Amino acid sequence: MLRSIESLKGCRVTASDGEIGSVEEVYFDHDAWGIRYLVVKTGNWIDGRRVLISPYSVIRMDPGALSVHVDLTRQQVSDSPPVDTDKPVSRQDEAEYLRYYGYPVYWGGVDVWGAGSYPAFSRAVLSAVSPETLAQLALFGDKPPGDSHLHSTDAVDGYHVAAADGDIGYVSGFVFDDEAWTIRYLTVDTQSWWASREVLLATEWIFLIDWLESTVSTELTRDAIKDSPDYDNRIPLERDFETQLYAFYGKAGYWSEERAALRLKQTGAAASAAP
Answer yes or no: do 109 and 175 share one domain. no
Residue 146's pLDDT is what? 44
Work out the burial of residue 193: count CB atoms within 10 Å of its CB; fewer than 13 is exposed, 13-18 middle, 19 or more buried.
Answer: middle
Pair (41, 142) in one structural domain: yes
Residue-level pLDDT at 250: 95
What string of pLDDT tens digits covers the 275 residues of the chain? 899 999 999 999 999 999 999 999 999 998 899 999 999 999 888 888 899 999 999 999 988 889 999 999 999 999 999 888 877 788 888 989 999 999 988 887 778 998 788 898 755 555 544 555 455 444 444 444 445 578 999 999 999 999 999 999 999 999 999 999 999 999 999 987 777 689 999 999 999 999 999 999 999 999 999 999 989 888 889 999 999 999 999 999 999 877 666 655 655 554 455 55
42 and 85 belong to one structural domain: yes
Q: Tell me which of 123, 151, 179 is where a domain ends.
A: 151
25 assigned to some structural domain: yes
Say whether both 64 and 115 belong to one domain.
yes
pLDDT at site 263: 59
Q: Which domain holds residue 176?
A: 157-257
Closest CA to 100 of 132, 77, 127: 77
- Co-location of 110 and 212 in the same domain: no
User: Does one domain contain both 117 and 208?
Assistant: no
Tell me the β-bridge partners of 61.
68
C-alpha to C-alpha distance for 203 and 186, rounded to whole angstroms: 6
Q: How long a stretch of residues is the chain?
A: 275
In a domain, 107, yes or no: yes
With respect to residue 266, please indicate whether it lies within any of the assigned structural domains.
Answer: no
Torsions phi, psi of 236, nearest 5?
A: -55, 135
**What span, in angstroms and rounded, lies between the C-alpha atoms of 172 and 1?**
20
Q: Considering the entire predicted model, what is its pTM?
A: 0.87
CATH code of the domain containing 115: 2.30.30.240
Whether 265 is in a domain gets the answer: no
Rounded to an integer, what distance in angstroms lies between the CA atom of residue 140 and that of residue 107? 9
Residues 21 and 1: beta-carbon distance below 8 Å: no
140 lies in the same domain as 122: yes
Please indicate, yes or no, whether residues 186 and 239 belong to a single structural domain of this protein. yes
